[in-house]
């Protein structure tokens, strides 16, 4: 069986339809890729992934300056293997890991490290929730939320980032994510707090501030309501 492989590639502006006997994932780092695979014909942007299954005919086009991480895989994680859609939004952990992969592959050849990176990539893929491709306007708001969890997040400001009215923004956000704006913000804050409690020695007040709560008591109430356990008991 072939070993999995990660590489950095660009694509031609002149597409050629082809297929191969292994699975291939394409994750844009810079620029968008136009792809035709299965029932999907459209564009895939940074923060998204397209899955081409073994023996599936497909073609790509992209501008020469665009760059992509390409994963050739003998086997797909179960969540991807059974998914009906071939394009999905990736989470921030995988996106951050792709930046490391790109820098390492462009700077040095180290087969042992490359295998370790592929195995880590495979594990991160298995953690992906198969969220559908997100409207680019909502995607901008999601990126802003995830990088500004320590700051006040108001619907009016998020709507302006998405170039929508607050009413349009709230409606489209719920359609795209399945959550209201503030429920999504709370989910992101609580999951980050859980990770900080598990993996750092930050005091509770600092964790509270990092996830957008100036008052520790308010953070404790929200955390306890979300997880059914206070942050102090969770940390023990």
**In the block, which residue shows the tokens 């893929």?**
125
For the chain, give the percent of residues with pLDDT over 70. 97
Instruction: Report residue 147 as tokens.
Output: 């990088």
Render pLDDT for 124-175 as a digit per residue (tens, 0 to 9).
999 887 766 778 888 888 888 988 999 999 999 999 999 999 999 999 999 8
**CA dist., res. 218 & res. 69, Å (int):** 41
Could you tell me which residues come within 8 angstroms of residue 177 by beta carbon, excluding any fewer than 6 positions away? 131, 134, 138, 142, 184
This model's pTM is above 0.85: no
**CA dist., res. 155 & res. 153, Å (int):** 7
| Terminal Cα distance for the chain, rounded | 45
Lowest mean pLDDT among 13-17, 109-113, 188-192, 225-229: 13-17
Average pLDDT over residues 12-18: 75
DSSP state letter for 18: B
Average pLDDT over residues 212-223: 94
For the chain, give the percent of residues with pLDDT over 90. 51
Q: In the prediction, which pLDDT does 184 show?
A: 92
> Which of 3.40.50.300, 1.10.10.60, 3.90.930.12, 3.30.565.10 would CATH assign to domain 136-235?
1.10.10.60
pLDDT grade for 6, boundaries at 50, 70 and 90? very high
> Which of 2.40.128.50, 3.90.280.10, 2.60.120.280, 3.40.50.2300 would CATH assign to domain 5-132?
2.60.120.280
**CA dist., res. 197 & res. 206, Å (int):** 10
Average pLDDT over residues 40-50: 87
pLDDT grade for 236, boundaries at 50, 70 and 90? low
Residue pair 173/131 in contact by the 8 Å Cβ criterion: no
Of residues 183 and 136, more confidence is placed in 183
Instruction: Report residue 23 as tokens.
Output: 């699975």
- Residue 1: pLDDT over 70: no
Render pLDDT for 59-115 as a digit per residue (tens, 0 to 9).
888 877 788 999 999 999 999 998 888 888 888 889 999 999 998 988 878 889 999
Give the residue from 82, 66, 64, 83 showing the smallest Cα distance to 26. Answer: 66
- How does DSSP assign 115-165, residue by residue? HHHHHHHHHHHHT---EEPPPHHHHHHHHHHHH-TTS---HHHHHHHTTS-
**CA dist., res. 150 & res. 189, Å (int):** 8
Annotated domain spans of the chain: 5-132, 136-235
């Amino acid at each position: 069986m072939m070993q999995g492989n990660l590489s950095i590639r660009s694509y031609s502006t002149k597409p050629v339809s082809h297929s191969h006997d292994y699975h291939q994932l394409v994750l844009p780092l810079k620029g968008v890729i136009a792809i035709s695979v299965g029932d999907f014909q459209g564009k895939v942007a940074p923060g998204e992934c397209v899955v081409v299954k073994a023996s599936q005919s497909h073609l790509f086009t992209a501008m020469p300056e665009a760059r992509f991480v390409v994963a050739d895989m003998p086997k797909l994680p179960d969540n991807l293997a059974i998914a009906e859609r071939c394009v999905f939004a990736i989470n921030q952990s995988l996106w951050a890991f792709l930046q490391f992969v790109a820098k390492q592959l462009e700077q040095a050849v180290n087969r042992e490290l490359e295998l370790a990176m592929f195995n880590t990539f495979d594990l991160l893929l298995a953690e992906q929730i198969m969220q559908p491709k997100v409207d680019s306007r909502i995607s901008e708001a999601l990126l802003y939320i995830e990088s500004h969890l320590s700051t006040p997040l108001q619907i009016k400001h998020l709507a302006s980032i998405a170039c929508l009215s607050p009413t349009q923004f709230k409606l489209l956000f719920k359609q795209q994510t399945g959550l209201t704006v503030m429920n999504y913000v709370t989910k992101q804050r609580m999951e980050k707090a859980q990770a900080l409690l598990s993996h750092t020695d930050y005091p509770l007040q600092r964790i509270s501030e990092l996830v957008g709560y100036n008052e520790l008591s308010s953070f404790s109430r929200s955390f306890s309501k979300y997880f059914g356990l206070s942050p102090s008991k969770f940390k023990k």
